[in-house]
Amino acid sequence: MRKSCLERAYELARSGRLESVTAIKKRLQAEGYSAAQEITGAALIASLGATLRTARGGPVPVIALHRKPLAPAETSAAAREAVTFR
């Protein structure tokens, strides 16, 4: 049974043999996956890219989660100065 386009995309990413998500999409099209053009969306492309960079031994960016700052009316001036984000 043939793998789905997405399964094959991750397989190619984990192999580390290709240099980019664009190269993965081109390879999928060459292999006859018509759904390769549907590999879109920031989260999916970021995930494939991170998988590929890990396989190639490169750095993987850390996605920072940010807290929403308090509105000025909710804190005093001293408290606003003491607020730090991690």
User: pLDDT of 7-42, one tens digit each?
Assistant: 999 999 999 999 999 999 999 999 999 988 888 888
Q: What is the pLDDT of residue 77?
A: 53
> Are 20 and 8 in contact, with CB atoms under 8 Å apart?
no
Q: What is the pLDDT of residue 85?
A: 41
Alpha carbon distances (Å) from 63 to 50, 60, 77: 11, 9, 30
Tell me, what amino acid is at 46?
A: A
How many degrees, rounded to 5, is the angle at CA 44 between CA 21 and CA 47?
A: 70
Query: Residue 61: pLDDT above 80?
Result: no
> Are 48 and 13 in contact, with CB atoms under 8 Å apart?
yes
pTM for the full predicted model:
0.66
Q: 55, 56, 11: which is closest to 33 by C-alpha?
A: 11
User: pLDDT of 49-59, one tens digit each?
Assistant: 999 999 998 87
Query: Residue 60: pLDDT above 50?
Result: yes
